[in-house]
Amino acid sequence: MADLREIPEKLINNISEVIVGKREVIELVVIGILSNGHVLLEDVPGLGKTTLARSLAMSIDANFKRIQFTPDLLPSDVTGVSMYNQKTGEFEFKEGPVFANILLADEINRTTPRTQSALLEAMQEFNITIDGVLRKLPRPFFVIATQNPIDFHGTYPLPESQVDRFLIQLGVGYPSNEEEVKVLTRNLKESPLDDLKSVVTIQEIIELQKVIAEIHIEPKITEYIVNIISTTRNLPGDIKLGASPRASLALMRTARSMAFLDKRDYVIPEDVKKLALPVLKHRIILQPRSIVRGLTSKDIVSHILKKVQVPV
């Protein structure tokens, strides 16, 4: 247990060798994989979304695949396809890149909704059905996807059902001037990715996921989580669609991971409050009139956290 507690810090520090000044973002990505979920990175191009995803994958000694989503990508390019073998006279299944421990879905919203939906079953059930045959994916299976803002040229909106399957949604944000100077300095001769080594094994990640699933959570905090989620469905006027029960599970799982990162064996209300925004903001759909008024899902989550009573 003592050795396992040091692994998240080791992983975060290793990724920080490449990604400068974004420790909080890195922590949330690590929480995503430790919580056995998936992470969506949304921001403008050039802020290091893909580099962050590759840094995580390279820091873990695991089976890693990358898909560059484009408008002409087909579902079979993601999941795989059965091909006829003339020698044997039988169809043989050729695995697609989805059969990996860590899958980088780069610019996921540049492909069509049909291809995007090829990931739905994999992200929720950790298996896929092809030609009527159920095929299990490697465990753990972690999707880290990047997307550009929806108003950018050549993007397609992700279906609500797919967005809901992402445990956490994050934005990377612009670096400060000092941080950008560090980025340039580190890239004077070659990319820091070239020298990045793996510091964690896939078996250690599996063990961490099991330990985190046993982190103690009081019934009062469970009720606090449900009250927060329930309020998103019952807030009149501004919310068109509130968070689903999947969001309750996501908030509980990530709160447990946050407690583990803080080297605690129990969840406190502050863990829930810290994770509420990245877990909920992409699951809340606002009324059109609220968007016109300049209201955001971040404003809604902040309002709800102030409204719902914190357990003592």
SS (H, E, C) the chain: CHHHHHHHHHHHHHHHCCCCCCHHHHHHHHHHHHCCCCEEEECCCCCCHHHHHHHHHHHEECCEEEEECCCCCCHHHHHEEEEEECCCCEEEEEECCCCCCEEEEECHHHCCHHHHHHHHHHHHHCEEEECCEEEECCCCCEEEEEECCCCCCCCCCCCHHHHCCCCEEECCCCCCHHHHHHHHHHCCCCCHHHHCCCCEEHHHHHHHHHHHCCCECCHHHHHHHHHHHHHHHHCCCCEEECCCHHHHHHHHHHHHHHHHHCCCCECCHHHHHHHHHHHHCCCCEECHHHHHCCCCHHHHHHHHHHHCCCCC
Instruction: Flag whether pLDDT at 270 surpasses 90.
Output: yes
Which of residues 280 and 87 earns the better pLDDT score? 280
Of the three residues 191, 208, 225, the one that is the final residue of a domain is 208
For position 2, what pLDDT does the model report? 44
| Distance between CA atoms of residues 272 and 181, nearest Å | 35
CATH number at residue 277: 1.10.8.80
Q: How many whole angstroms separate alpha carbon 60 and alpha carbon 155? A: 30
Asked if residue 152 and residue 219 are part of one domain, the reply reads no
User: By percentage, how much of the chain surpasses pLDDT 70?
Assistant: 97
Residues 19 and 166 reside in one and the same domain: yes
Q: Does pLDDT of 155 surpass 80?
A: no
**Which residue did the predictor score with more confidence, 183 or 255?**
255
Residues 285 and 177 occupy one common structural domain: no
Per-residue pLDDT at 271 exceeds 90: yes
For residues 103 and 167, state if they share a domain: yes
* Domain closes at, from 173, 208, 243: 208
pLDDT band of residue 151 (cuts 50, 70, 90) is low
Same domain? For 55 and 196 the reply is yes
Q: What confidence tens digit (pLDDT) does each residue in 22-64 have?
A: 888 899 999 999 999 999 988 777 777 788 888 888 898 888 8
Q: Are 177 and 223 contained in the same domain?
A: no
Core vs surface per residue 16-32: b (16+ CB within 10 A) or e: eebbbebeebbbbbbbb
Asked if 219 and 200 sit in the same domain, the reply is no
Q: 46 versus 291: which is more confidently predicted?
A: 291
E strand or H helix at 77, and its extent?
helix 75-79
pLDDT band at residue 153 under the 50/70/90 scheme: low
pLDDT of 17 strictly over 80: yes
pLDDT, residue 154, reads: 60
Q: What are the tens digits of pLDDT across the range 226-259?
A: 999 999 888 777 888 888 899 999 999 999 999 9
Please report the pLDDT score of residue 99 as a whole number: 92
The one-letter amino acid at 292 = V
- Asked if 224 and 123 sit in the same domain, the reply is no
For 53-104, how does the pLDDT look when each residue is reduced to its tens digit (9 = 90+)?
Answer: 888 888 988 888 889 888 888 888 888 888 888 888 888 888 889 999 989 8
* pLDDT band at residue 152 under the 50/70/90 scheme: low
Question: Of 193, 208, 223, which closes a domain?
Answer: 208
Helices and strands in the chain: count of H runs, count of E runs: 14, 13
> Rounded mean pLDDT of the chain?
86
Same-domain pairing of 182 and 201: yes
Q: In the predicted model, is pLDDT for residue 1 greater than 60?
A: no
Assess whether 236 and 114 both reside in one domain: no
Domain of residue 297 covers: 215-307
Q: Give the pLDDT confidence of 194-203 residue by residue, as tens digits.
A: 778 889 989 9
Structural domains counted in the chain: 2
Most confident of 5-14, 103-112, 240-249, 254-263: 254-263
Mean pLDDT confidence for 289-305: 86
Q: What is the pLDDT of residue 3?
A: 78
